[in-house]
A and B are shown apart, each in its own frame.
Chain A
């Protein structure tokens, strides 16, 4: 049952990601990306990290997808297909896929050849309370730095994306 669920999740994530990167209609590929992010949240849930699963849904499906869709709509040329496949683009695509396949050809045998120490029999328990204590005590400084980075990044994004009044 559990393995079957994992198989479904993996197929969903890989399939939607692969199809999303091949589609020509941008909105659809973004929505397929959303499916694959949801699949990743399901994987976290499956692995027992439920807090992370909900954080993934909140951040990726709630926020990143919205920002992406807004960006797609703001950079859309009027009803023109977003991609015209030209010969240079085609060779570029072929090169990209080749490089991806090469990396896969290195990674997969490497993973298969590695012996890992035996897994723990039971899932590690990690309650939300424990997570909060760890975040606040052990990783308090990191939490502050991450908050700072987020604030600065979002301010920077607003400044970058804000349109000037005099631009036509």
Chain B
């Protein structure tokens, strides 16, 4: 088992924790954080392949992660704004109570 295997196993486990959390918890903010965790796990893969992949001279891995971090920040801002808007409307942030589209 190489270093790359270790890093990939680790990021895979992190992804699964994020997935289980996003599906299991009913609080909207925790679900969003679970999704953030999955994004982070994907970022870890880019860095693992960049560091322990076959020899290369490009910086595509870190640059992709940089863009992913930027997009994740935007996603967090919009997601949490939505949570606040829903809370103001329904006085609740529990996802199973938000089954209706009609306001």
Contacts and interface: CB of A to CB of B under 8 A. Distances in A.
Q: Please determine whether chains A and B interact with each other in the same assembly.
A: yes
Interface of A: 6, 10, 13-14, 17-18, 20-21, 26, 29-30, 33, 36-37, 40, 43-44, 47-49, 51-52, 55-56, 59-60, 63-64, 67-68, 70-72, 74-75, 77, 82-83, 88-89, 92-97, 99-101, 103-104, 107-108, 111-112, 116-120, 123-124, 126, 130-131, 134-135, 139, 142, 146, 149-150, 153-154, 156-158, 160-161, 163, 167
Interface in B7-37: 8-10, 12-27, 29-30, 32-34, 36-37
A123 B54 CA distance: 11
Interface residues of B, number: 73
A108 B9 contact: yes
B78 A157 contact: yes
Given A26-B27, A63-B73, A131-B59, A107 B12 contact: yes
A95 B9 contact: no
B94 to A, nearest CB: 8
Given A14-B17, A157-B78, A161-B85, A64 B93 contact: no
Main secondary structure of the interface of B (DSSP, over half): helix
Nearest to B59: A126
Contacts of B57: 124
Interface of B: 1-6, 8-10, 12-27, 29-30, 32-34, 36-37, 40, 43-44, 47-48, 50-57, 59, 61-63, 65-67, 69-78, 80-85, 87-88, 91, 93, 96
Contacts of A60: 69
Nearest to A48: B51
Given A49-B47, A119-B54, A157-B78, A40 B40 contact: yes
Given A13-B14, A33-B33, A161-B85, A96 B77 contact: no
21 contacts: A6-B6, A17-B37, A21-B24, A29-B30, A30-B33, A33-B36, A40-B44, A49-B62, A49-B65, A51-B66, A52-B66, A68-B80, A92-B23, A104-B16, A107-B12, A107-B15, A116-B4, A124-B55, A126-B62, A146-B71, A149-B70
